[in-house]
Chain A
Amino acid sequence: GESVGLHLPTLSVQEGDNSIINCAYSNSASDYFIWYKQESGKGPQFIIDIRSNMDKRQGQRVTVLLNKTVKHLSLQIAATQPGDSAVYFCAEEAAGNKLTFGGGTRVLVKP
């Protein structure tokens, strides 16, 4: 039988196109957010973060947008490359330096 946990949302994107990954968070008291990238067989790796007093932050080829009104976070990857293929997780921090991870999104880059 199938397991619900095995079915990650998947974003299939052409190499060179932009990718947008979305995340809804649950705790309105969360004040810090991180996007992680997890490649097969590896642990999550920090990509970019944003604090709740900001609504946008840019890194190298990545941009994070935060909409606190609707508790929504997005990660934009510009000019997606094959090396961007991975599972992406958002995580939120509330009080006490504790991170809560959301469900992931798998990104598949087509050559």
Chain B
Amino acid sequence: EAGVAQSPRYKIIEKRQSVAFWCNPISGHATLYWYQQILGQGPKLLIQFQNNGVVDDSQLPKDRFSAERLKGVDSTLKIQPAKLEDSAVYLCASSPGGLVEKLFFGSGTQLSVL
């Protein structure tokens, strides 16, 4: 079974630039999550989708972050404009029907904002 795919693997940008991350969840997984993991900390949930609808985006900084999952499969997370404090690993995860015990993570995109 293929895992959660994410790209790019690494990204370096300057502050105030924009960046986008892509995620392809495990086939058949209806629920998709984006997490932000700052170095030395646990992952923090940014947004949760159920199919193509948003379930929870309460911790998403909506003035600069946006995410979409238009066809209920792939998802894109965008930051515009980026700030220094956005430097982190952005992890995508998926699960069947929102079951956290069956949550699988991708390897993440490591973002450095200079």
- A-side residues, CB < 8 A to B, are 3-8, 32, 34, 41-46, 49, 89, 91, 93, 96-104
How many A-B pairs have beta carbons closer than 8 Å: the answer is 60
Q: Give the shortest distance, in Å, between A92 (CB) and chain B (any CB).
A: 10
Residue of A6, A97, A104 with most partner-chain B CB within 10 A: A97
How many of chain B's residues have a CB under 8 angstroms from any CB in A?
24
B16 an interface residue at 8 Å Cβ cutoff?
Answer: no
B91 an interface residue at 8 Å Cβ cutoff?
Answer: yes
15 contacts between A and B (CB under 8 A): A3-B39, A3-B40, A4-B40, A5-B39, A5-B40, A32-B100, A42-B108, A43-B105, A43-B107, A46-B101, A49-B101, A96-B56, A99-B103, A100-B45, A104-B41
- Find out whether the CB atom of B42 lies under 8 angstroms from the CB atom of A103: yes
- Find out whether the CB atom of B40 lies under 8 angstroms from the CB atom of A101: no
- Find out whether the CB atom of B93 lies under 8 angstroms from the CB atom of A43: yes
- Find out whether the CB atom of B101 lies under 8 angstroms from the CB atom of A34: yes
A46: which B residues are within 8 A, CB to CB?
A: 101, 103-104
A34 and B93 CA atoms in complex are apart in Å by 15
A99: which B residues are within 8 A, CB to CB?
A: 45, 100, 103
- Find out whether the CB atom of A42 lies under 8 angstroms from the CB atom of B107: yes
- B-side residues, CB < 8 A to A, are 4, 31, 38-45, 48, 56, 91, 93, 98-101, 103-108
- Find out whether the CB atom of B100 lies under 8 angstroms from the CB atom of A93: yes
Name the residue on A nearest B102 (C-beta).
A46
Q: Give the shortest distance, in Å, between A20 (CB) and chain B (any CB).
A: 19
- Find out whether the CB atom of A5 lies under 8 angstroms from the CB atom of B107: no
